[in-house]
Amino acid sequence: MTAPKYRELAEQLREQYAQAPVGTPTPSERQLADDTGVSRMTARRAIDELVRSGLLTRAVGRGTFVTQPAMSVPLRLTSFTEDMRARGHVPSSRVLGLEVVRADERVAGVFGTVVGARVTLLSRLRLADDVPMAIERSHLRTDAFPGIERHDFGVESLYRVLAEEYGVRFEAGEQVIRAGLVRDEDTTTLAVAPGSPVLELARTTVAHGSVVEWTVSTYPASRFELSAQIAPLT
């Protein structure tokens, strides 16, 4: 059995808009019907489907825009790879940089080292089903993870490498979330308009009594949703 026409059209549009910046206007039902040679009813149903999935949003009187679905991120010490797989998405990464830098005051403070200590900085674009979700800048103590630069983090999970190669077992973690505006250098990579709102998650993880990782993840605000289990008062 072949898929109904509106589904086919919805799939085509999904592909077309998956990488589009949030806020991109989309054609009206009538225009879409004319452009693709389907009925207005089919065009409407295709758009409805994408609105339901969160990829498009109808703004009354202004038309329909690309918004991208929000991804629910749990407050647990799980990795991006695990989080996305648990939600049925295919995670992937693009390495934007992997270099040894010198700790400035902030980084030295996080790791409890001296200013100027060597720190490995891994910058990655994280994607779910090929949609850019976040830029993650992970700082790791270079002395604690010798040879880590040999890994291909375009395909490997950082947490897996830390666990399997370096025997890291996290004991604790802290996550600070704050709102901000996207950095100019990140707009194209995240496929958002300049000045768009973002949420920054700064995570510090501790193993064997010392801080092993400080990662700042920048999520476009429209693609991020926080979920946490709330424990009852005891």
The least CB distance from residue 228 to ligand GLP, in Å, is 14
* Rounded least distance, CB 143 to ligand GLP, Å: 19
158, 182, 190, 211: which one contacts ligand GLP (CB under 6 A)?
Answer: 158
Q: Which stretch binds ligand GLP (CB under 6 A): 47-55, 76-84, 99-107, 181-189?
A: 76-84
Contact call for residues 28 and 63 (beta carbons, < 8 A): yes
Amino acid letter, 205: T
Among 138, 196, 218, 222, binds ligand GLP (CB under 6 A): 138
Q: Of 15-23, 79-87, 95-103, 110-118, which part binds ligand GLP (CB under 6 A)? A: 79-87
Binding-site size, ligand GLP (CB under 6 A): 14
Contact between 142 and ligand GLP per CB under 6 A: no
- Of the candidate spans 8-16, 19-27, 153-161, 223-231, the one that interacts with ligand GLP by CB under 6 A turns out to be 153-161
Nearest 5°: the CA angle 52, 57, 58 is 110
Q: Which two tokens stand for residue 226?
A: 């926080």
Is residue 157 a contact residue for ligand GLP (CB under 6 A)?
Answer: yes
Per rule CB under 6 A, is residue 192 in the interface with ligand GLP? no
- What mask of x and - would describe binding to ligand GLP in positions 3 to 42, judged by CB under 6 A? ----------------------------------------
**Would you tell me which residues interact with ligand GLP (CB under 6 A)?**
79-81, 136, 138, 157-160, 201, 203, 213, 215, 217
